[in-house]
Amino acid sequence: MLTSPTLLSNMTAANKNSASDSLSQLGNDYNKFLTLLTAQIQNQDPLEPVDSTQFVAQLAQLSQVEQAVQTNTQLETVSSQISGLLNLGGTDLLGRDVTIQSDTVMLKNGATATTYEVGEAASEVTAKIIDPLGRTIRTITGLSVLSGTQNQLGWDGKDDYGNPQLDGIYTVQLVAKNTAGEAVNVQASRSARVEDVRFQEGEIVFGLDGGETASSVTVKSAR
């Protein structure tokens, strides 16, 4: 599975804003401190001068803060570079077939490339095929309950009355239950061809055949 740079991008944006805000605040505080320092020196009692070590200590603290902000800025640059490299890595999948988590079913010549993975303890799995108009045209029962593997959906492209359906985009709704009638996790996947790669807000998004888009985090395998 590809690693999405979304989190890294968010960190980069946060670091950028933090660094910029911190530098701005530091500059304001530094100027205020120097103004106060100058005023104190000009108006101090010559017989009881302020301890100069206190001024030195405060200057040292401001210097440490400035160094920390500069380090944050450098980390921001490194994060941006890594994010860019991850984005370029997504172009390697152009024109290749990938398996993605998706409830979209592409029907072509009476066949589909949809599979599903079901959690442990499932005793029954049922699938409903939804057409583009939102109508349930086929209910499939008795599907495999084998966990830890990709099971074939096995839809033959026909409705409940045995009528062949037109090629196109359909949706599958899967429901899995255990012997107690409790819901069990089940996830549909399909094989798709990557037709284009997009970078949206720091995340890799693949344009797939059939017009579907998928985040890189939903890609389970590629070939």
Domain end marker among 93, 114, 142: 93
Give CB contacts under 8 A, 24+ apart, made by 204-207: 204/2, 204/4, 204/5, 204/86, 204/87, 204/90, 206/90, 206/93, 206/98, 206/100
Check whether residue 212 and residue 106 sit in a common domain.
yes
For residues 85 and 105, membership in a common domain is answered with no
Q: Looking at the structure, do residues 42 and 145 belong to the same domain, yes or no?
A: no
pLDDT at 155 over 80: yes
Tell me, yes or no, whether 159 and 213 share the same domain. yes
Q: What is the pLDDT of residue 77?
A: 61
By percentage, how much of the chain surpasses pLDDT 70?
63
Whether residue 56 is found in the same domain as residue 129: no
58: phi then psi, degrees, rounded to nearest 5? -70, -40
Q: Both 156 and 77 in a single domain?
A: no
Whether residue 184 sits in one domain with residue 165? yes
Do 116 and 13 share a domain, yes or no? no
Same-domain pairing of 75 and 156: no
Give the range of the structural domain holding residue 10, as residue numbers without chain letter. 6-93
188 against 3, higher pLDDT: 188
CA angle 44, 47, 49 (to 5 degrees): 45
Mean pLDDT of the 6-10 span: 42
DSSP, res 103: -
Token pair for 5: 């740079």
pLDDT value for 4: 39
The residue from 56, 75, 93 where one domain ends is 93
pLDDT tens profile 83-140: 544 545 567 777 788 888 999 999 988 899 899 999 999 999 999 999 999 999 999 9
Mean pLDDT, the chain, whole residue set: 78
**29 shares a domain with 75:** yes
Mean pLDDT of 72-80: 63
Q: Are residues 78 and 101 in the same domain?
A: no
The answer as to whether 1 is a domain residue is: no
**Helix axes of 52-89 and 6-43: crossing angle, nearest 10 degrees:** 160
pLDDT grade, residue 66 (50/70/90)? low
Q: Is residue 67 part of a domain?
A: yes
Report the CATH number that the domain containing residue 150 is assigned in CATH: 2.60.40.4070
The pLDDT of residue 12 is 44
